[in-house]
């Protein structure tokens, strides 16, 4: 009894305390303290550099900080008249054009194939995901060896299939597809897992209803499954596009840091890296980075426009 009185007494006091607080300000100061770390990091390493990136391309910034002079559009002009820049732009787009459709198609195919509760399928899911967590530089060593034109396993397989051997990374036409092959091996598992989790979220009655209506396996896939997972596919298309524009480690490792042979694997990001951090032309590289960002904005815009046409939102 006494305890209950004490309890209610305390509750009343707390309520009173709450009422005495000026409600208008709420938890303002406390919230500011809680948000401080995130905001400071974001300010120093995201907002400020983002603002800087808008102007960096217009200035000649000297590496040792000797002085900064206004350069106007000269760096943009020299980037746009530099043939390697256009080549790198082309390679960036080609890489993304390989990666996005192959990733989506591959992920859906594998996910549909191993969609099931059995032990075998969950083991295979683990194997498919395994490369995703491995470090790119370390695992590209094994691939470099497999790509070896003389002793690599890939040419041996081509030989078994009675196909002509390839120079893989040493040929200017096959180097980019070889990098794509590595990237698919490394990243497909992530996409498979995401598609599988969406598939498991589709209620069974939906499929059963389609089957009762006499839909074939093929029809069920194209008319029911695909529309239902299209929001996820759109998400993966966006993530894969962003990821392929950021691809760096695998290109660096598989081309020996050169972007070769004959610039065949030089993407914009690699060119920006080489220009800024090997030749120390900062403003020139910053101008190219701005052009790359422009490209990303355009691609995002196109994807959003396309999504309105084919993504089915429930």
Q: From the CB of 172, what's the least distance to other proteins, in Å?
A: 19
Nearer to other proteins, 2 or 150 (CB): 150
Q: Which is nearer to other proteins, 153 or 206 (CB)?
A: 153
Strands (E), the chain: 59-61, 68-70
Give the position of tokens 């499954």.
225
Nearest distance from residue 271's CB to other proteins, in Å?
A: 11
Q: 111: which 2 tokens?
A: 């996910």
Residue 1: strand, helix, or coil: coil
Q: What are the backbone angles phi and psi of residue 69, rounded to the nearest 5°?
A: -125, 150
CB nearer to other proteins: pick between 72 and 135? 135
| Cβ-based nearer residue to other proteins, 264 or 269 | 269
Cβ nearer to other proteins, comparing 72 with 142? 142
Nearest distance from residue 146's CB to other proteins, in Å?
Answer: 6
Residues in CB range of 157: below 8 A, 6 or more apart:
none
Q: Is 172 in contact with 264 (CB distance < 8 Å)?
A: yes
Give me the least distance between CB of 89 and other proteins, in Å please.
13
Asked if 192 contacts 110 with a C-beta cutoff of 8 angstroms, the reply is yes
Are residues 183 and 244 in contact, defined by beta-carbon separation less than 8 angstroms?
yes
Alpha helix locations (H) across 57-82? 74-80
Question: What is the Rg, in whole angstroms, of the alpha carbon atoms belonging to the chain?
Answer: 27
CB of 20 to other proteins, least distance (A): 15
């Amino acid at each position: 009894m006494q305890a209950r009185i004490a309890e209610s007494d305390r509750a009343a006091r707390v309520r009173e305390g709450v009422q005495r607080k000026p409600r208008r300000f709420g938890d303002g100061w406390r919230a500011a303290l809680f948000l401080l770390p995130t905001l400071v990091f974001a300010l120093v390493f995201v907002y400020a550099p983002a603002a800087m990136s808008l102007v960096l391309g217009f200035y000649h910034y000297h590496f040792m900080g000797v002085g900064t002079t206004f350069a106007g559009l000269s760096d943009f002009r020299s980037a746009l008249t530099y043939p390697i820049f256009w080549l790198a732009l082309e390679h960036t787009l080609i890489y993304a054009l390989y990666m996005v459709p192959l990733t989506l198609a591959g992920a859906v195919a594998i996910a549909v194939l191993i969609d099931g509760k059995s032990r075998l399928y969950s083991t295979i899911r683990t194997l498919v995901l395994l490369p995703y967590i491995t470090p790119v530089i370390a695992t590209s060593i094994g691939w470099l060896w497999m790509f070896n034109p003389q002793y690599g396993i890939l040419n041996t397989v081509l030989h078994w299939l009675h196909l002509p051997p390839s120079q893989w990374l040493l040929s200017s036409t096959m180097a980019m597809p070889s990098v794509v092959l590595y990237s698919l091996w490394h990243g497909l598992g992530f996409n498979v897992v995401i598609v599988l989790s969406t598939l498991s979220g589709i209620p069974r009655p939906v499929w059963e209803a389609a089957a009762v209506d006499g839909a074939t396996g093929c029809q069920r896939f194209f008319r029911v499954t695909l529309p239902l997972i299209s929001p996820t596919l759109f998400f993966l298309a966006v993530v894969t596009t962003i990821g392929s524009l950021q691809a760096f480690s695998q290109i660096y490792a598989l081309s020996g840091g050169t972007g070769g042979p004959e610039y065949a694997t030089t993407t914009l990001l690699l060119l920006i890296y080489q220009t800024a951090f090997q030749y120390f032309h900062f403003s020139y590289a910053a101008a190219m980075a701005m052009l790359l960002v422009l490209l990303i904005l355009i691609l995002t815009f196109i994807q959003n426009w396309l999504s309105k046409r084919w993504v089915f939102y429930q």
